[in-house]
Structure 1
Amino acid sequence: MNDRKQIAELVSKHIATTIPELSDQEVPEDKDLREFAGFDSLGILESLVWLESEFGITIPDEELTVEKFSSVTKMVDYVIDHRG
């Protein structure tokens, strides 16, 4: 799957399951997810593990920063940039 829109839809759906307050609405792609209580350390960790599993990427420890994964757009960009 190389289509940015498809990747964004998958990531958005996952985020909606991670952040309860977004479960019944569309996740804005550029919204800083740190503004939601559900995007805590556990939510971030679950999302990173999910990204690795879903898209077959590995996120090196030195790149594990909240800033790199704080929005759907940033997650999608990371996946696109790091897929083999």
Structure 2
Amino acid sequence: MNDRQEIVDSVALRLGKMIPQLREEPDLESKDLRDYAEFDSLGILEVLVWLEDEFAVSIPDEELRVENFKSVGMIVDYVIAHR
């Protein structure tokens, strides 16, 4: 398994706990997380804190925009770019 797939799996597992119906998505990486009520401001904050802890990335204030983290693929790309 490659590094990207491991990150995708980890992010999907974490988000699947918050958004159970996300587990059913066939195109998980591109699904817009804003379509789910659970991905509200508190949910986004939880994910960002988890990302910082899990992957040792720092997310500067100027990058704290939902547009940067609106899909699993975008979250994974961010982690890879900032590790």
CA deviations over 1:29-76 (Å, ceiling 9, x no partner): 100000001101111000000000000011000000000000000000
Indicate the RMSD between aligned Cα atoms, in angstroms: 1.5
Match of 2:14 in 1: 14
Match of 1:25 in 2: 24
SS of the equivalent of 1:4 reads helix
Structure-2 separation of matches of 1:6 and 1:20: 20
Match of 1:68 in 2: 68
Distance 1:26 1:10, change over 3 A: farther
SS of the equivalent of 2:24 reads coil
- Identical aligned residues as a percent: 59
State the TM-score, normalized to the length of structure 2. 0.90
Match of 2:44 in 1: 44
Structure-1 separation of matches of 2:30 and 2:44: 16
Match of 2:79 in 1: 79
Count the aligned residue pairs: 81
Which runs of no fewer than 5 residues in structure 1 stay unpaired? Answer: none
Misfit runs of 4+, over 2 Å: 24-27
State the TM-score, normalized to the length of structure 1. 0.89
